[in-house]
Amino acid sequence: MRNKTGELFEMKVLSLLVACTAAFPAVAEQELPPFTEAVLPMGNDVYAVSIGPGGPDEEFGSDATNGGLYKLTPDGATEEIKLSDEQGLRNPTGIVRSGNQIVIVDGNEIISTASDGTVNWRQALDEDGVFLYDIEALDENTLLVSDFGRGAFLSIAPQTGQIQHYLDDLRISGLARFAIAETGIYAVSWGSDDAWDSALYWVPHSHSGDTAVIVSNGFGNLESVEIINGTVVVGGYRGHEEYPNARLLRVETDGAIHPLSAGSHSQGVSDILFDGSSIWLTYFYDASYAELPSQAAQNLN
């Protein structure tokens, strides 16, 4: 005989999935260059960074300038933006807007460029093990960057590119993308390809710099996280050990996991961006992205 508590739980999960399907109506997906890591809407256009034709096998070891910055226009055209310093991009994985500039992380480098490719500055961090992954704006005067290779955070001055260590001795193995809240940072770790060992972490801004608290674990290859109307949403490639087919999941403050229907039809969500009204999902292996309308964000809970 089936457990009645289990039946009630299944009913609640089913209700949640139905609600999430209504909250995330189907939208048209836009094609991207192969192996695009993240997109950035600016005005009527969408900018994207791709690690290029080498794909994941080349992501950490290639010195070839296979990566690219692209502009996608409303009429469906895709244009590669060539950088004015002619140094190209190798493995760009993160992109953010800072004033009227676009700032990109690429391997051990950070590049600030105008939307037409005019480079403002390019700074490299020549230290062992560095592989910069994600970049977000902390405030008008500070950008934060995650260093996947060493599991640490860095701060960047947006006008000059000056790089400094952030949060002192904090280390998160496999540190991937992160989202900034008023009092701290939500960050995700990548983990192993054959284990459920990715996790969501909470890192307060005001501490000695050596504490990262696990909010929830048991994920497979998490890459992205975003705060949407106060709700934490994570995305990855193998979901959670309880929901292996989910590519996008909501995480409660107590660590409870709820699968979402949006994005779960894909091979994985490499980046999530909430611009205050729309949710932008980047599907790495599907070479596409989707913009979810404002009501999806409003009805996320």
Summarised one tens digit per residue, pLDDT across range 86-129 is 999 999 999 999 999 999 999 999 999 999 999 999 999 999 99
Q: With bands split at pLDDT 50, 70 and 90, how would you rate the model's confidence at 5? A: very low
> What domains are there in the chain, each with its CATH number?
24-298 (2.120.10.30)
Distances (CA, A) of 26 to 74, 112, 262, 293: 19, 35, 8, 10
Strand duo 248-251 + 29-31: pairing: unpaired
Average pLDDT over residues 140-158: 95
Model confidence pLDDT, tens digit, residues 6-38: 333 333 333 333 344 334 444 557 889 889 999
Average pLDDT over residues 171-178: 96
Taking 50 as the threshold, does the pLDDT of residue 81 lie above it? yes
Least confident of 8-17, 41-50, 63-72, 249-258: 8-17
Q: What is the pLDDT of residue 207?
A: 59
Q: What is the pLDDT of residue 3?
A: 37
How many angstroms separate the CA atoms of 298 and 301, rounded?
8
How many angstroms separate the CA atoms of 271 and 231, rounded?
16
How many angstroms separate the CA atoms of 291 and 26, rounded?
10
The set of residues, in sequence order, having a beta carbon less than 8 Å from that of 283 and lying 6+ positions away, is: 29, 263, 266, 267, 268, 269, 270, 289, 290
Sign of CA dihedral 219, 225, 230, 231: negative
How many angstroms separate the CA atoms of 74 and 53, rounded?
25
The set of residues, in sequence order, having a beta carbon less than 8 Å from that of 168 and lying 6+ positions away, is: 208, 209, 210
Q: What is the pLDDT of residue 255?
A: 94
Which pTM was predicted?
Answer: 0.88
